[in-house]
């Protein structure tokens, strides 16, 4: 997905999601990551993810460390 993904992150983002089952929670988490990359330009380098059972389902709390995406420079000579 990235030619040079960040190895560390200076910026922090917190994500909190809820779902009725673990499969749906995974899909929501992956969708959130895609959203952050595509619309906010935030590329996660590391994540701390915790999942808690709760009444009616599960809760995911994640702390993401990352950097703004570096857009590739325009190719020359083409």
pLDDT tens per residue, range 17-72? 999 999 999 999 999 999 999 999 899 989 999 999 999 999 999 999 998 886 64
**Model-level pTM greater than 0.75?**
yes
Q: What is the pLDDT of residue 76?
A: 41
d(CA 46, CA 51): 16
The answer, yes or no, to whether residue 78 has pLDDT greater than 70, is no
d(CA 66, CA 69): 9
Q: What is the pLDDT of residue 1?
A: 57
Q: How many CB atoms lie within 10 A of CB 60?
A: 19
The answer, yes or no, to whether residue 77 has pLDDT greater than 50, is no
Q: Where are the domains of the chain?
A: 17-66
The answer, yes or no, to whether residue 7 has pLDDT greater than 60, is yes
């Amino acid at each position: 997905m990235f030619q040079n993904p960040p190895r560390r992150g200076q910026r922090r983002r917190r994500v909190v999601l809820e779902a009725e089952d673990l499969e749906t929670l995974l899909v929501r988490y992956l969708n959130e990551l895609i959203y952050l990359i595509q619309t906010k330009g935030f590329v996660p380098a590391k994540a701390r993810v915790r999942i808690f059972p709760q009444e009616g389902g599960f809760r995911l709390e994640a702390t993401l460390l990352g950097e703004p995406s570096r857009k590739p420079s325009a190719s020359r000579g083409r």
